[in-house]
Amino acid sequence: MDTKALETLIRRYEQITLDINLKIRLLIQKEFGEELTGDQHIIARYIMEHDKCTNTELAKVFYVKKSAITAMTTRLFNKGMIKRRRDNKDRRIVYLSLTQEGREFITTCDQKAMAIVAEFIDRFEGTEIEQFFQTYEKLNNILTLKLGKLEE
C-alpha cells in the first residue's frame, strides 16, 4: 500500500475511533448523570468483577499511572462506592472492594449502559455484527502483542 493511501486510512481510523468513543461516553454520561464518570464506572465494574484489587493492579490493567487510578478510586471512596482494607501482613497494600451501595449503583449503571449499546447493536445484521467483533478482536490482539513487546 502506498504511503498516501496508508495515511488516509490511518486518519480515517483515528477520526472514527475518536468520534465513536466521544459519542458513546457522552450518551453514557448523560444516563449516569453527575454521579459517576465513564472511567469511574469502568474502574468500579472491574473492582466488582474481581471482588478486590489494588490501585497498582488497576493501573496495570488500564495502562495508566498509579496516580491517575488513585485519584479515581479516591473519588469513588468519597462517594461511598468503594471501601479500602489494608493487608494484614503488609500494611502498605490496600485492597479495594465495592460497598453494597456501590454494587447496587454499578449494577444499575451497567443495565443503563447495556440498553444504550444494545440499541446500536440491534441496527446491525447478525453477520455484520459478527464480522465487526471479529475484526475488533483481531485489532485488540494485535495491540496486546505490541504492548507485550514494549513491556519486555
DSSP calls for 114-131: HHHHHHHHTTS-HHHHHH
150 in a domain, yes or no?
A: no
Parent domain of 56: 35-121
Mean pLDDT by 10 residues, the chain (152 residues): 91 93 83 80 93 93 92 94 92 94 91 87 93 94 84 66
Between CA 82 and CA 143 the distance in angstroms is: 31
pLDDT of amino acid 64: 92
pLDDT of amino acid 93: 92
49 in a domain, yes or no?
A: yes
- Cβ–Cβ < 8 Å for 53, 46: yes
Query: 0.85 cut: is pTM over it?
Result: no
79 in a domain, yes or no?
A: yes
β 82-86/94-98 pair status? antiparallel
pLDDT of amino acid 152: 63
pLDDT of amino acid 112: 86
pLDDT of amino acid 63: 87
pLDDT of amino acid 49: 95
139 in a domain, yes or no?
A: no
Question: What residue type is assigned to position 35 of the chain?
Answer: E
The enclosing domain of 104 has a CATH number of 1.10.10.10
Between CA 145 and CA 149 the distance in angstroms is: 6
41 in a domain, yes or no?
A: yes
127 in a domain, yes or no?
A: no
Number of domains in the chain: 1
Query: Is 73 exposed, middle or buried (CB count within 10 Å of its CB: 0-12, 13-18, 19+)?
Result: buried
User: Which grid coordinates belong to 41?
Assistant: 464506572
